[in-house]
Amino acid sequence: MCNITIDSRILKAKSGKSFGQIKSPSMEGPGSCSYFLQPDAGQRVELQLYRLVSVGKFNGTSCVGGWIQLSSASAVRTDSVAETRLCGANERYTPPVVLFADHGAALLEFRIIEKTVRSQFLAFFSFTSLSNTQGVGFHPSGGSRIPHTDCDWLYQDVSCRGPNACILASPGYPGLYPPHRKCRYLFATNSVHTRVKIIFTSILLPRNHCTWDYLTLRAGSSPSAPLLASLCSERMATLEHPGPNLLLEFKSGPLVPPYDYNGFIAKLEFIERLDSSGAPPTVLPASPPLAALTHLLDNGDAALDALGSNEVFANSGGRIGCGAIVRGYGPGGLRSGHFDTRATTWRTQCTVHLIGAATDVVQVSLFNYNLRLQGCRSHIEILEGLHEFSSRERDRSEKGDRALLKVCGPAAREARDPSGRFLIRQAVTSKGANLTIMVRRALSQNAEEEEFVDGAFAFHDEQHEGTASPDATCASTHYGLAAPAHGGVSAPSHHHIFWNIEERLLCTHRFIPASNQSVTVEIQRLDRMWSAEPTGTTGASGCRTACGDAGCECRAQTPLHYHDHVALVAGDGTHLSCLCGDFQAAWLPVVVRSWTSVRLEYSVAHYTYASRGFDYAAAYSFNDDAMCGQRTFTTHSGEISSKNVSVTGSLNEFFYQQCTWVLDSNVERQLFIDITSEQDKSCGSWNITLHEWSGAGAHSDAGLSGAAGDLLYTFCARHKNHTYTLPWRLNTLVIRLVALSRQQPLYTIRWRSQVVRANNRLGPPTPVPAASAAGNGLTISYILYCVLYCILQYAL
């Protein structure tokens, strides 16, 4: 029979069976035949193919001349998704080739498009329950299919608590998997102590076809994350790695005969490693120059003595739990790390003390916690300073005043939402060098629902690393009057605080010079930078750097946040330089000297705790010079000239200036402006503009530069020399210089005023010049008329 429908419910009602045989009629090609297979609810379609006679042939990449194909009848058919097609001239399959359709009704198509004498196939079908856990009825468990994807799955540790709770496999397992697929399986953990163990009980891929069919495991949630392992010819394997995210990708190529492979099946385990015999704690030793800070805080020795001897060192191998004292300075100090109250024996009252150097502030981020008791009897407090539990009311009042964060029970938090995405960070930053984490719990431990808190901490040296911004993930500010005159910045090293970030990471250093200063930022070292453009993005071709007279530029067809980069940005948003891609070390250093604030942006396109982005190093210096900025002159004549500044000699050294000068007068005058320059630069490199005074803008955040009103004239260096005469009584003028060039602008601005003493007044302005000129002209005409009249009368 041909072109028929086989319905599971009708078949069960008439025969009591849910399986049968399909033997196609002998067909002379070309021709076609189809079978519509309708399963009942909770069933999948299984097909076992035993025999093919004159059904096309395989040309190395696909079937030509004819094929048999099993596809989903309910899914939307698209040309971009390759279907499972089998072909062969005279094939007997032992064991049979097994195919599955997992999503509702299926369509079995038998098609011959070339001339044949006899084409035929033999197969068995079965409507198999999805609830079966063994045999051909296998179905993935413990994970959730990611919406709007072909075969992507998410597995979280909270869903895989029991034994054999999470099992994953290639699509169609244990049958033949479809061709040309990329299936991704994301494994997400909620705890920093959780490791992911993947046990592949069977891997069966085509022989000598590893270019097309293989498995990869990556440290992160992106296909561009670092590669941890690759599997192809192995029959079994076990992989174990820490989180927070691992991505397993299964890639299939064209279906290659003989069809004696079926992909893979694996068991997933999430393992907690909190015992002392496990891996050493994830803490970083203090980095120079912080490691050289051997001085203690005021009364620091007394504070440590009072707190006891539970101090944790970088090389102690101890977990940071209840009762820990973490010192962030001196030899063996820890600059960052993770803490977890479950790392030590149960205590009703639990404290963790974080003690920094005099110039430190402390950052704490909470990842997970569980508080059971009502009425705040269970709670978490993060306090400024060093504290212990006390029953005195006065102490409780003082703690309440100093609490940066308080969480009252009952309350629970997990690092991720149900979709596997990290929640918004719950973090605090201290104002001083010391911090105490206090946790009050029930009198006894509940094994089924333990009360705990875990998170991360980091010490931030504001003297060397800038003033931390409490509202930003990774931002600091360097003030010219408070910061060291010379210093350096680099990629963030306190990665523990970023454990729950799985996206773009943007860290900024803002340099704000004083009114009599400029700032120089020099990028000295830079690692290779990568791109994380979404798969299938139109025009995706990475990012490259191009440097010219107006700075270095990042060039990409896709938005810049898809690419690793370092950028220097002026306070008004002007991009002074941007570096991305495979930037050559020979082009370094890149130097920018600015007389306004500069923001250094370090952007990792896809940050993960396991793959921490690229490294860089930059130096900065605040220079004392008053050649730019914003100034007001009240003299009737004067001169403004550029001054030579020191240069580094680097090929990529750029000068950025935004200067504003206001020429002001309280008497009526006419201004003459002479501007000269010996350089031959374009207006894009630098220019000087003259503006009318706009009083309203002077009170904005831009200061005097905001007072620049209507444009009167623009001077470019190529003009060499120009004198501009202002209209009479335009007493106040705004002069602006804007420059971004490899060469420092060289110019001279002179001004002089013509003041008519008879018209000088400090009161209201006199009539406008046009009106006065008209009145004078009328008087002279009248006198001439009278003289002419007298002469004519005398002549007569």
Q: What is the 3-state secondary structure (H, E, C) of 481-543?
A: CCCCCEEEEECCCCHHHHCCCCCCEEEEEEEECCCCEEEEEEEEEECCCCECCCCCCCCCCCE
DSSP 5: E
CB atoms closer than 10 angstroms to residue 670: 17
State the pLDDT at residue 623: 92
Using one digit for the tens of pLDDT, what is the confidence trace for 629-667?
788 999 999 999 998 888 888 889 999 999 999 999 888
State which CATH number among 3.90.1170.50, 2.60.120.290, 2.40.50.140, 2.40.50.420 fits the domain covering 1-138. Answer: 2.60.120.290
Which CATH architecture best describes the domain 284-465?
A: Sandwich (2.60)
State the pLDDT at residue 494: 79
Query: What gap in Å lies between CA 710 and CA 193, rounded to an integer?
Result: 63
Tokens (6 digits) for 599: 């923001």
State the pLDDT at residue 564: 94
State the pLDDT at residue 598: 96
Query: What gap in Å lies between CA 660 and CA 675, rounded to an integer?
Result: 15
Tokens (6 digits) for 777: 């002209």
- Find the angle CA(467)-CA(473)-CA(474) to the nearest 5 degrees: 50
Half-sphere exposure of 506 (CA within 13 A, CB side): 12
Query: What gap in Å lies between CA 479 and CA 513, rounded to an integer?
Result: 6
- Could you tell me the CA-to-CA distances from 690 to 464, 661, 725 in Å, in that order? 41, 10, 11
State the pLDDT at residue 768: 37
State the pLDDT at residue 213: 94
Per-residue exposure over 356-383, b if at least 16 CB sit within 10 Å of its own CB, e if not: bbebbbbbbbbbbbbbbbeeeebbbbbb
User: Burial level of 525, CB count in 10 A (0-12/13-18/19+)?
Assistant: middle
Query: What gap in Å lies between CA 777 and CA 138, rounded to an integer?
Result: 107
CATH of domain 630-765: 2.60.120.290
**Residues 54, 90 contacting (CB under 8 angstroms):** yes
End-to-end CA distance of the chain: 139
Fold of 486-624: Jelly Rolls (2.60.120)
Tokens (6 digits) for 360: 């430190």
Tell me the mean pLDDT per 10 residues along the chain, length 796.
Answer: 90 92 91 93 88 92 91 60 83 87 86 93 89 62 86 90 87 87 93 92 92 93 88 92 93 89 93 53 36 35 52 61 92 90 89 95 95 93 89 52 87 90 92 95 80 94 92 92 92 88 93 92 92 77 89 92 94 92 87 94 90 90 86 92 85 92 90 93 92 74 76 92 91 92 93 73 39 43 60 59
Which pTM was predicted? 0.77
* 486-624 and 630-765 have identical folds: yes
State the pLDDT at residue 771: 36
User: Burial level of 660, CB count in 10 A (0-12/13-18/19+)?
Assistant: buried
State the pLDDT at residue 520: 95
What residues does each domain of the chain span? 1-138, 284-465, 486-624, 630-765
Backbone φ and ψ of 119, nearest 5°: -120, 135
